[in-house]
Amino acid sequence: MSEVLHVVTDGSAIGNPGPGGWAAVLAQGKKRWEISGAKHWTTASEMELVAAVEALRGIPTGTRVELRSDCRYLIDGMRFHVLRWKRQEWRNRRGAKLQHQELWSELLHLNEQFHVRWKWIPGHNHHPRQTRADSLAYREARTLWYELKVAA
């Protein structure tokens, strides 16, 4: 059986909403790599979900994954709520349309392809991979913010 792929994700937005960034630090055995990106107008919550989607997109089906995030919205959503939201036609308990339905739907689909263990970790806890993901996500958001400010 292959080694578990350890993933730590984070998202950031300046202004919330505003320019945002996402990042993931992935490690499997001795191999380690990072991915990140940005979006012009977004929220931190959306970037947290995008980070998880992007981390899971490029890995082989059947991979055992432990995905950690400091975002309760993401972790609790995947562990406790997403199946109910889907059954309720992507509405919350009050009947309001769920935000980021497309991302939740894609996460659910990706979750079915892997053996994902969703784990919450406290933010800013000096965990090296969480600190790195946080730094990369913020850097992406900050770079985009600066580019937008210069262009204005």
pLDDT in tens, 88-102: 999 988 999 999 999
pLDDT at 48 over 60: yes
Question: What is the structure's pLDDT at 93?
Answer: 86
For residue range 11-31, what is the model confidence (pLDDT) as tens digits? 999 998 999 999 999 999 999
Q: Name the more confident of 125 and 4.
A: 4
Q: How confident is the model at residue 57 (pLDDT cuts 50, 70, 90)?
A: very high
Q: How large is the average pLDDT for residues 44-58?
A: 97
**Domains of the chain by start residue, with CATH:** 5-151 (3.30.420.10)
Q: How large is the average pLDDT for residues 120-146?
A: 92
pLDDT at 83 over 90: yes
d(C-alpha 51, C-alpha 60), whole Å:
17
| DSSP per-residue string spanning the chain | -PPPEEEEEEEEESSSSEEEEEEEEEEETTEEEEEEEEEEEE-HHHHHHHHHHHHHHTS-TT-EEEEEES-HHHHHIIIIIHHHHHHTTSB-TTSPBPTTHHHHHHHHHHHHHTEEEEEE--TTS--HHHHHHHHHHHHHHHHHHHHHHHH-
Question: What is the structure's pLDDT at 124?
Answer: 76
Q: How confident is the model at residue 1 (pLDDT cuts 50, 70, 90)?
A: low
Q: How large is the average pLDDT for residues 36-61?
A: 96
Question: What is the structure's pLDDT at 123?
Answer: 81
Question: What is the structure's pLDDT at 68?
Answer: 97
Q: What is the mean pLDDT of the chain?
A: 94
